[in-house]
Structure 1
Amino acid sequence: MRKELLAQVKRVVIKVGSGVLVGQDGVDPAIIEALVKDLCKVVEQGYEVLLVSSGAVATGKGDLGIVGRPPTIPLKQAAAAIGQSRLMRYYKDAFRTCGRRVAQILLTRDDLANRRRFLNARNTLMTLLEYGIIPIINENDTVVVDEIRFGDNDNLSALVTNLAESDLLVILSDVDGLYDSNPRTNPQARLINKIEHITPEIEGMAGGAGSEVGTGGMATKIEAAKRASLYGVSTVIVNGRQPHVLSRLFAGEELGSWFLPAVDRLNARKHWIAFTKKIRGRLLLDEGAHQALADKGKSLLPSGIIEVEGNFERGDAVRLCDAEGREFARGIINYSQAELVRIQGHNSQDIEELLGYQYGAEVVHRDNLVLKKRAGQRAAICKE
């Protein structure tokens, strides 16, 4: 089964968390050396590899006298500034022994939320892979703040899977995979080897937060697997502390938890709308518009809009909510907030008379709209 799935894989994103890399005194170069040797064996098999690596903060915090997680964003930024170059040196030295070259890519959510910068980042990654250089990707923690951060590198790795048009996401964790209960407290916990659909029950098995050196627990890994699945990509969660785990995995050994891709996948642009582009506002729609979008695959027209909220411009992403405030879709808006306030509730043929111009009859075209049920998201109350 695993060998058949791996036969379809050419390009793979491998995410390694701080919990895998950290020893007694912070990030351990010996652990990185062992990981890189194993990873080089994967590359020698003909796979193209992109590495998403945590560890900058954990590497640099000791110089600031910090124990545990940095308590403030400025301290986290300072620790990342100290640690990122050191972390890259560890990787560069380790890959050099295998005859491989690496490149550093630091990203914020803004880099991927802007479509032009998203495509520029993709072009950079594709060029590096074309030249046989392994990209090492991390969130740019030296400048990141809450409103532009990915949240954790599990989330980032799922977005990179879409960005790089990869075929597989491998998440190296400090546990063997997804269990039906917490293996640290229940010795009878059972490892789930294959997950065909990420259901609420599967999400409920994920538990809470991660270790004191990382920001993600199993819940964020399940969320990353869900996002990758909707792009048509499998995800494997394995124990990165097991010896030679990558070469064993790519030899077809039944390790960890394998999440199969969704049958009804999103295309790359709709995946970007659903998960990457930042939301700038929300629209409340009447029942007719809600049904037209949710059940009939129609575009949104101004006549169905009840309320406009937020400060957005043409080309931004907005939440689309029913009359009771439940979000059911997201889309790219064709008119600014100021323009929309003037045309809401009116027929499309009135747009030019009201504004003096028009960008089209649709406020959100169906090609730029993603329903939450298609994105594997449960309905929620719309919030800014």
Structure 2
Amino acid sequence: MRRSVVLSAAVAGVAALFTAACSSPGSSTASGDKEIEVALITSTSGPLASYGEQYLQGFEAGLDHATDGTGRVDGIKISLLKDDDGGDPAKGVSLAKQRIGQGVPIIAGTAASGVATQMAPVAAQNKTLYISGPAATDALTGVNRYTFRSGRQTYQDVMTAKNILGDSKGKKVVVLAQDNAFGQANAAAVKSVLGTGGTTVSPVLAPPSATDLTPVASKVKAAEPDMVFVAWAGDTAQSMWSTLDQQGVLDAATVVTGLDIRASYPVFGKARDKVTLLAHYVPEATRTPEAQAMRAYFGKKKWQEDLFTPDGFNAAQMVVEAVKAGGADGDTDAMVKALEGFSFSGIKGANTVRAGDHALLQPTFQAKFTTAGAPEVSRTFDAEQVAPAEKQIG
């Protein structure tokens, strides 16, 4: 069963690229089992390549766990098609359309918010199930009935910060971020959550390509904030923290930031003891059955769990649940209904897909660095404490 792809006039000329014959979602394997294909589209190159690799490793472990090591559910083999979007929205959209044109009924992945926000409308236009990955932008929640998420969103980060900081009434808050979809979403979320009751929130957004961050740090300090919320991703993090420290920002205000991947731990340098950490996940900190299963699988592969391992693991669990409902033919409506309200235990703990807008309700953490340089959990916030405001599905 091949799916027709909805194409705008601007891309109709390349439609022929998507008409190559391919096995249908309900095709049979050599062993006679039915098969369904899942396209994993995420960054394995570009600035977020490490995020994508963590996601893919988590997905592999999650699929192994959710199918009892068989890669099959209800006699249906789940085959994975992996594509690298390189963090490029145009490439991500092109890959999504290509896979949809080949009859693939489920797309999962994407580490970059800019890619995810462009792929979500494609999923809706073509009635394809889309389960986003580490992309954190709030814009994905409630965007359409076909789009879900397997990771956290920016609003949950900010709610974690709010719980950490307590009363911020009357304070001046500066959001330091890059001027891209991720940074803009963080600025908007902080203003939405903290910018009430007399609290002033102002963004300082740096060009994503900037390497000299002294002007940005100086602008932050000149604002004389009580608190600085730092949302930063990519290769310039070490330079950013060093510059903030050199410019005295870390000593002049309370600085809150999200815990990043393992490779980023050393980049804090002297800032390590001067920041308050909010954490989507702290590697090795949870003891759920899923966490134990993931570690056993990773041990065999000689992999190391990291910040976005749970996102991939969650996605695999959601895919398996969807396939149970939609069958080998990939009945999209049945898959959507199955995921709406789906509650399941993940690496981090209890997860629930909120039926009304597809937000993934999940626990988050406050963390601090130990003297050995690894983070440890100091507080856990349950899903209700950090739940984003509910939206209406677009």
Q: TM-score, normalised by structure 1?
A: 0.27
Q: Which of these two proteins has the greater Rg computed from alpha carbons?
A: 1
Highest RCO, 1 vs 2 (Cα 8 Å, sep ≥ 6): 2
Q: TM-score, normalised by structure 2?
A: 0.27
